[in-house]
Amino acid sequence: MTYPKELREATRLSEKSYPYMFFFNRHKGVKIGQSILFLHWHEHFEIIVMRQGSAIFHIDSQPYEAEPGDVLLVPAGGLHVGYSTCDGVVAFISIVFNGALFNDWVHDAIHAKYVSPYLEGRVQFPVKPLVHEPSCLEHFRLLDQAIAEFKAGQPAYQLVIKSQLHMLVTLLARTFLPKQLPERASSRYIENRERFKSLIQYVEARFAERITIEDAAKRLNLNPHHFCKMFKKLTGRTFIEYVNLCRMNEAERLLLDGTLTITEVAGRVGCDNPNYFTRLFKNYKGVTPSQFRK
């Protein structure tokens, strides 16, 4: 598959000494409910800066609405996925960085007290900080500065961005750590997230096969009803919707490749009935397969 072959995303970061990267995401002609960020996780932290349109991101089972100016903090290892909540254009910037970016401060006592608990996962920032503390808006100006630095690429911009990200994390820690005392805040191990990662990875790899809700629930030792509720909460889609989305994303790729007929594409993604495939593709992509290929 293209989006993605593995649930665990091997996110490409910058050079080893500066493990971060900026991704400028812009989706044109989207429809309400269309996927704009495919379900995945990675070992890095991610900051989503909303620029245009509106969307809903499901991060570790919780939905977060985002409009221009909103900032979402995705914890390292967090499952996340996004869907458009508007028609037209949706644009957002993803700033992905590894905690190793701040290794220079590892022996600093103040860093160890305020920043390390977040880097080590002992506590986590609120996903949508502004909801809890409006003063964070002032801190988020550092993100605009970092984005501008990345785009300009002036000499030593890497060091400037590194400093800006560390300052942001430090200011957020100063704001939230007093409310998240280590003795009261566990590492918040996300059991549901870890249990479902292997299943979703399995679906991503074998979506063309017949996978029933009962089969999927059995893999996690859950009854089908409880499984369906948990899956919808985690991904924002029903299990059947998610399997079909995987199939239609692959169909889209195969149609663009142009080497297979529409009937052959339907068979490749597990739809033996071409008429059903056409209806399903139009439902998810807004056009028929033949229209899309044209």
Beta strands in the chain (DSSP E): 20-30, 35-40, 45-52, 55-59, 62-66, 71-74, 80-84, 88-97
Q: Percent of the chain scored above 90 by pLDDT?
A: 50
Q: Reduced to 3 states, what is the DSSP secondary structure of residue 285?
A: helix
What's the mean per-residue pLDDT of the chain?
86
- Percent of the chain exceeding pLDDT 70 equals 90
pLDDT of residue 186: 41
| Cβ atoms of 271 and 231 closer than 8 Å | no
pTM of the model: 0.72
The CA-CA-CA angle for residues 195, 198, 200, to 5°, reads: 100
Q: What is the pLDDT of residue 246?
A: 86
The bridge status of strand 55-59 relative to strand 80-84 is antiparallel
- Tally the residues of the chain: 294
Name residue 145's amino acid.
Q
| Domain range summary for the chain, segments of one domain joined by + | 20-179, 191-293
pLDDT at 6: 41
Give the CATH number of domain 20-179: 2.60.120.10
Same fold, 20-179 and 191-293: no
Q: Which residue has the higher pLDDT, 7 or 214?
A: 214
54: confidence class by pLDDT, cuts 50, 70, 90:
very high
Distances (CA, A) of 235 to 66, 101, 107, 114: 16, 30, 39, 32
Answer yes or no: CATH 1.20.1440.230 is held by domain 191-293.
no
User: Per-residue pLDDT tens for 96-148?
Assistant: 998 889 988 877 889 988 998 898 888 899 999 999 999 999 999 999 999 99
